[in-house]
Amino acid sequence: MTSPTSKESLAALRKSYERAELGEAHSADDPLRQFERWLDEAIDAQVPEPNAMTLCTVGNDLRPSSRIVLIKGYDARGLVWYTNYESRKGRELAGNPYASLQFHWVELERVVRIEGRVEKAGADESDAYYASRPLDSRLGAWASPQSEVIGGREVLVKNAAVAAAKYLLSPPRPPHWGGYRLVPDRWEFWQGRKSRLHDRLRYRLEAGQWTRERLAP
């Protein structure tokens, strides 16, 4: 008997989600507290890169694009990550400051989706985080013209060497590099459940207050 093709195997993949549940009675009234609870549980469970999140932006051409970034902080003001302001995401955010984030903690059968307006983090905040990075990472921010076409990896290596020779052990933060903060106005928490009857709780910001509601899966 011949083995099924990869496409046939893909269509046959199934999983029953049975690890946990998400009910209104046991969820936080404030989505930030619910997020913190789930993030702490993802870290405690040692899931791979619990801080990784998918960032989706839309350019002036209305084409959406997504990539993985790492959350570096969060509070009542929003969620923060750092990147090159001149990258594709930076250019798209300059034209359309609305974006979405998504965390997918596979092992916990959980997804968190966040939507809102994006603003740049303050210069002091970006300076402090940049100074905390390893030296190679700080030099890398100077070396990479992110999202631009380059002739080969040697371009990056040369740029890093030039930055190292120029700044030695104290490279300053590049003017084209810093933080962004997404200020949420919508959160959604998804918990996988048996028979595809998943739990979905959405929080919407209305007149400064969060409204929690259940969505059909």
Q: 211-215: long-range contacts (C-beta < 8 A, 24 or more apart)?
A: 212/24, 212/27, 212/29, 212/31, 214/24, 215/188
State which amino acid sits at residue 87.
S
> At 11, is the secondary structure helix, strand, or coil?
helix
How far apart CA 187 and CA 156 sit, in angstroms, is 38
Backbone dihedral angles phi then psi of residue 39, each to the nearest 5 degrees: -65, -45
Is 196 among the residues known to form the active site?
yes
One of 19, 181, 196, 214 is an active-site residue; which one?
A: 196
Q: Which of 118, 108, 168, 104 is nearest to 138 (CA)?
A: 168
Q: Would you say 22 and 189 are in contact if contact means Cβ atoms under 8 Å apart?
A: yes
Token pair of 132, please? 């905390």
Q: Which sequence positions are flagged as catalytic?
A: 196
